[in-house]
Amino acid sequence: MNRLGLPLVTISDNPIPDAVIGYVSVQGAESVFGGKAKRLQKTARAYHAKKADRDSVRHNLEKSGFIILAESALGLSVSAPGGAYEEITGGRLESKEILLNVDADYVMYITHVDIIGDKQPRTLGVGSVKSKNLKADGVVVERPRFFHAVFPSPISPTSPKFHLRVPSDVGIALNAVAAHQLGHRGDGVLVAMPDSGEYRHPFFSANGFQLKTTITVVPGTNRSKDPVGHGTGESANIFAVAPGAVLQAIRTSNSAGKLVGAIAGFLQAKDLNPQPRIITNSWGGDQPFPPSGPPDESELALAAEIQDGIEQGILVIFSAGNGQFSIEPQVPGVLAAGGVFLDSMGSLRASDYASGYQSPWFDGVNVPTVSGLVGMRPRAQYLMLPVQPNCEIDQDESEPDPPVDSTSDGTFSNDGWALFSGTSAAAPQLAGVSALILGAKPNLSPAQVIEALTKTATDVTAGSCHPRFNNPATAGFDIATGAGLVNATAAVQFALDNF
C-alpha cells in the first residue's frame, strides 16, 4: 500500500496492445539476466554479443513475428504481438496497473505489461528465453516512461499590473474565507465544466484541489492538454471559492483549441453519473442586438437542453458575455454571470467588459443575474490564472496589444501563468459560491441557490456594463450587474437560515 492507501499493483482490465515494444538481449560474455550480482560490469564490452549470434537471434525473432526496430552490439529493440513474446519465452503476457508518480505530483495507475509463468523471473516485464537454441539471454517489455518536463510554478508570478491572485485574493474579495473557517468548503460538490480542456498545472495539485480525469468530446484530442488555456485558468476560480469542490472538466475543443463541441460537451455534462450539481459554462454565441426576430430553432434546441438540465435539479451557470448577446444566459432559470471590478482602493463598479441587458426573448429575464469579479476594458487583464505553458493565452496576454494596450500582462509567454478574466471567470466564481451553498445545504433547488446569491449580493452603484449595451449600475437591482457582486459567506448563511 502507498501513502494514498491504494495498492501499488493491481490486475488490469486493459487488453494487451496489438504491438508490444520490447528488448531482447543477445548472449555475450556476461549477462544482466539470471546472474546473482545485480551490478553493472566495469565496461559494457562484457555484454557485447558476437555478430553471428546477433544475426541468428535477429533471424529467429523475425521468423516468430518480431519487427526489429533497432539493434546494438548488446541486443535488439523489437515490436511484436503478445503471442510472439509468449512463443519465445514460454510465459504469458498479462496487463497490470502500477501506481506511479506521473508528473507534477499526480499519482495515477499506469498500465504495464508483465511476462508471467512458472519459469519466468518475478521482475515486472522481464522474461526468460525458452529455447536453448536462441542465443538470447533475456526479454524485457518496455515500461511506460514519462517526459521529465519542466513544469510551471504552482505559485503565480508577480506583475506590475494591478491584479488579483487565485486562490487567495479571489476568495477574499468574494468573502469566501469566513465561510471556509466555518467549515463550508463545498466538500464533494461535483461541478462540471465544458471548456477548452484542463492542463495538469501544479497549481491544482499543490493546493490539494480535486479534479476528475478530463472527458474529451472531440475524437483524437488529448485529455491532459489545453492548447488555449481557457478551461484550465477559469477552473481555478471555482477552487478559489470552493476548495473542497470536485471538478469534472469536459474538453470540448479540437486539437487546435477551438471550441467546436460545446453542445456535445453540455449534453455530456448533464448525462454524467453521478450527475453534477452544477454545470458552469464560460462560453456562448453571439447574435445581433437588438435581435431582428425570435431565436432560430437551433438556438431553441440548445435552450431546451439547458432548461431540461435545470428541471433535473442541476444549477446551470452561463457567463453573460463580454459584449456578446446570446441565448444561453437568457434561458429562464439559468444563473447568468456578470462582471464587477474591485479596484486597488477596494471600490466596486460595473465592469465595462461584461454584457448587461434585459432579455428581448424571455419576459422578466435580466442578464446578468448576479456578478463575479471581472476586469475592465480593453483587455480585462485582472486575474492571475494558471494555464498550460506556451498555450494561446500564455502567449497572447504576455504581448502588448497596440493601439489599445501598449503593455503586456507582465508574465512570460511560456511560464504557465497569465492575466485575464472576462465573464468567463465570473461563471466559475459563481459556481464556487454555489458549491459552498450546496455543500452546506445539499438539497436546495437551483432556484433556491440563486435566491441565496441574489438576496445577499453586494449592491454595486457605479460604472456601466459593456458599451454595446451601456446600462449603468444603480442602487438596487440593475441591468449592468444584476443583484451586484456575490458575497459567499452571506449567501451560505442565508441558505442555512432560510431553507
Partner 1 sequence: MLDDYLELILRWSAQGENLEAKSWLEKNGLSTSRMKNGLLITGSRSQIETVFSVSLENRELPFLLPIPVELQSSVASITLPKPRSYHL
DSSP state, 328? Answer: G
- Which CB sits closer to partner 1, 55 or 305? 305
Find out whether 373 and 340 touch, Cβ atoms under 8 Å: yes
Residue 158, phi then psi, degrees to nearest 5:
-85, 160
Find the binder of partner 1 among 2, 14, 101, 298 (CB under 8 A): 298
| β-strand partners of 247 | 191, 211
- Which CB sits closer to partner 1, 58 or 258? 258
Which single residue is written with the C-alpha cell 444584476?
482
Q: Minimum Å distance from CB 253 to partner 1?
A: 9
- Which CB sits closer to partner 1, 67 or 301? 301
- Amino acid, single-letter form, for residue 303: A
Which of 143, 156, 154, 157 is CA-nearest to residue 102?
A: 143
- Which CB sits closer to partner 1, 385 or 450? 385
CA dihedral (216, 220, 225, 226) positive or negative: negative
Q: Minimum Å distance from CB 484 to partner 1?
A: 20
363 scored as a contact of partner 1 (CB under 8 A): no
Find the binder of partner 1 among 62, 286, 343, 399 (CB under 8 A): 286
Which of 90, 104, 388, 356 is CA-nearest to residue 228?
A: 388
CA dihedral (417, 420, 424, 427) positive or negative: positive
- Which CB sits closer to partner 1, 175 or 237? 237
CA distance 428 to 248: 13
From the list 23-31, 305-313, 400-408, 481-489, the region that binds partner 1 by CB under 8 A is 305-313
Kindly compute the dihedral angle of the four CA atoms of residues 152, 155, 159, 164, in this order, to the nearest 10 degrees.
130
Phi-psi label, residue 125: left if phi above 0, alpha if psi -120 to 50, beta otherwise: left
- Which CB sits closer to partner 1, 136 or 262? 262
ω into residue 157 within 30 of 0, thus cis? no
Residues 376-405, interacting with partner 1 (CB under 8 A): 393
- Which CB sits closer to partner 1, 303 or 495? 303
CA distance 386 to 388: 7
Q: Minimum Å distance from CB 262 to partner 1?
A: 4
411 scored as a contact of partner 1 (CB under 8 A): no
- Which CB sits closer to partner 1, 138 or 229? 229
Q: Minimum Å distance from CB 198 to partner 1?
A: 14
171 scored as a contact of partner 1 (CB under 8 A): no
Q: Minimum Å distance from CB 416 to partner 1?
A: 17
For residue 490, give the C-alpha cell. 452571506
- Which CB sits closer to partner 1, 62 or 311? 311
Q: Minimum Å distance from CB 335 to partner 1?
A: 14
Q: DSSP letter string over 308-324?
A: HHHHTT-EEEEE--SS-
What count of Cα atoms within 13 Å lies in the side-chain half-sphere of residue 409? 30
CA distance 183 to 311: 29
From the list 49-57, 95-103, 132-140, 419-427, the region that binds partner 1 by CB under 8 A is 419-427
From the list 108-116, 141-149, 282-290, 468-476, the region that binds partner 1 by CB under 8 A is 282-290
Find the binder of partner 1 among 100, 104, 263, 462 (CB under 8 A): 263
- Which CB sits closer to partner 1, 28 or 231? 231
CA distance 306 to 314: 9
Which of 427, 300, 458 is CA-nearest to residue 354?
A: 427
Binding-site size, partner 1 (CB under 8 A): 44
For residue 409, give the C-alpha cell. 500582462
Residues 50-109, interacting with partner 1 (CB under 8 A): none
From the list 159-167, 169-177, 319-327, 441-449, the region that binds partner 1 by CB under 8 A is 319-327
Q: Minimum Å distance from CB 443 to partner 1?
A: 25
| β-strand partners of 100 | 108
Q: Minimum Å distance from CB 352 to partner 1?
A: 15
Find the binder of partner 1 among 128, 156, 216, 324 (CB under 8 A): 324
Which whole-number Å values give the CA distances from 290 to 299, 322, 324, 360, in the listed order? 16, 16, 11, 8
262 scored as a contact of partner 1 (CB under 8 A): yes
Residue 15, phi then psi, degrees to nearest 5:
-70, 160
321 scored as a contact of partner 1 (CB under 8 A): yes
Query: Can you give the length of the chain in residues?
Result: 499
- Amino acid, single-letter form, for residue 187: D
Find the binder of partner 1 among 227, 244, 261, 416 (CB under 8 A): 261
307 scored as a contact of partner 1 (CB under 8 A): yes
Find the binder of partner 1 among 248, 423, 434, 487 (CB under 8 A): 423
> Which stretches of the chain bind partner 1, using CB under 8 A?
195-196, 218-219, 228, 230, 254, 258-264, 267-268, 282-287, 296-302, 304-305, 307-308, 319-322, 324, 393, 420, 422-424, 427
